[in-house]
Structure 1
Amino acid sequence: MDTISPLTSLGRFYIYAIHGYATEVMFTAIWEFVVNLNWKFPGNTSVWSFPMYGLSLLMVEYLYLRLRHNTPVYVRALIYTIWTYLWEFSTGYVLKYFDACPWDYTPFEGDFMGLVTLEYFPFWYFGSIFLEQVIIRYTRRLYFGPSSDIFESDKNGKLKQK
């Protein structure tokens, strides 16, 4: 019988990176519309965002797996948000050193060194709940395995051999 194996860390990194990258493009497009009523919805990001999101979301996944049984979701979301701020500040600080930081929050209220802003706190907080409840949970259910003509799902979604 062929074996089924879960996605590797690299596979999950890739999915998380794509999710973060696409979400940032959508967020910046919506932000541009809300602030400037720009009906073109131009969204943008930087190539640096791809590895930043992939690595950061792997860390959130790690935190989720460690905290899910003994920490309420609203506390986990706060922990994820704190991690996100630390990660955004740290990576931004390094990129800024090389004049490569693609964001500057200086015009925002509650910014710190232009690298993070408290204005985004609700987005990071509620986004991390969505990330945990949807993206991480479903990504961890993905697997590499034999072709679909060998296995089928029962009514509970469990795989069984045909």
Structure 2
Amino acid sequence: MLLRFFLYGVLGWAAEIVWTAGYELVSGTRKDPLDPRVRVRMTPPERWKLAGHTYLWMFPLYGMGGLAFEPCHELIRGWPWLLRGTIWTLAIFAVEYAFGRLLRAAGGRCPWDYSYARWHIHGLVRLDYAPVWFAFGLFMERLHDALRGLG
């Protein structure tokens, strides 16, 4: 179980780094270091650095989330893929929102802030990310099946 926790944590970190680098490349904006609710323009050389980022706080979330995902996957394994993807989307939104609220309560702020986005909820989740979470949940099913034999 510890090995799978580690693998899910590392995968989450890697996915977030790739996602943020790609997002900044495509959008041409990055977080303002003084106000994470604001996006600032990047120069073309800054965009092509592909400097993705994540937070140390995210490792335990990704590790525990991956482990919590496994029994849920077993429960819904035989259900239609459209329903499973919808469930993963809603579950990821719920965990992201709850963990963001917890971090805000504990430290005064959440490391991510989506307030700049059009379809955000309290700056903690972006509803326009639903297709990403849908696909990611279905990908995680495949990963879980591949990792089933690991301690």
TM-score grouping bracket, smaller chain normalisation = 0.7 to 0.9
- Give CA-to-partner distance per residue, 1:142-162, whole Å, 9 cap, x none: 35xxxxxxxxxxxxxxxxxxx
Amino-acid identity (%) = 35
Match of 1:129 among 128, 135, 138: 138
Match of 2:121 among 112, 115, 137: 112
Code of the aligned partner of 2:74: L
- Give CA-to-partner distance per residue, 1:38-67, whole Å, 9 cap, x none: 111110010011001111121221111111
2:21 matches 1:29: yes
Residues 98-109 of structure 1: pairs in structure 2 closer than 5 A: 98-109=107-118
Cα distance in 1, alignment partners of residues 13 and 109 from structure 2: 17
TM-score (norm 1): 0.78
Counterpart of 1:55 in structure 2 is: 64
Instruction: Point out where structure 1 has 5 or more consecutive residues left out of the alignment.
Output: 1-8, 144-162
Instruction: Point out where structure 2 has 5 or more consecutive residues left out of the alignment.
Output: 29-43
Q: Secondary structure at 2:4's aligned position in 1?
A: helix
Answer yes or no: is the 8 Å Cα contact 2:3–2:150 preserved in 1. Answer: no
Rg bigger for which structure? 1
Cα separation, partners in 2 of 1:100 and 1:47, compared to 1, 3 Å:
farther
Cα distance in 2, alignment partners of residues 138 and 100 from structure 1: 36
Q: Shift of the alpha carbon at 1:100?
A: 4.4
Code of the aligned partner of 1:40: K
Cα distance in 1, alignment partners of residues 150 and 91 from structure 2: 25
Counterpart of 2:9 in structure 1 is: 17
The root-mean-square deviation of aligned C-alpha atoms, in Å, is 1.3
Counterpart of 2:99 in structure 1 is: 91
Answer yes or no: is the 8 Å Cα contact 2:4–2:150 preserved in 1. Answer: no
Answer yes or no: is the 8 Å Cα contact 1:77–1:128 preserved in 2. Answer: yes
Match of 2:148 among 140, 149, 152: 140
Counterpart of 1:146 in structure 2 is: none
Code of the aligned partner of 2:85: A
Q: Secondary structure at 2:51's aligned position in 1?
A: coil
Cα distance in 2, alignment partners of residues 34 and 61 from structure 1: 33
Going by fraction, where is helix more abundant, 1 or 2?
Answer: 2
Counterpart of 1:147 in structure 2 is: none
- Hey, which bits of structure 1, 4+ residues long, moved more than 4 A? none
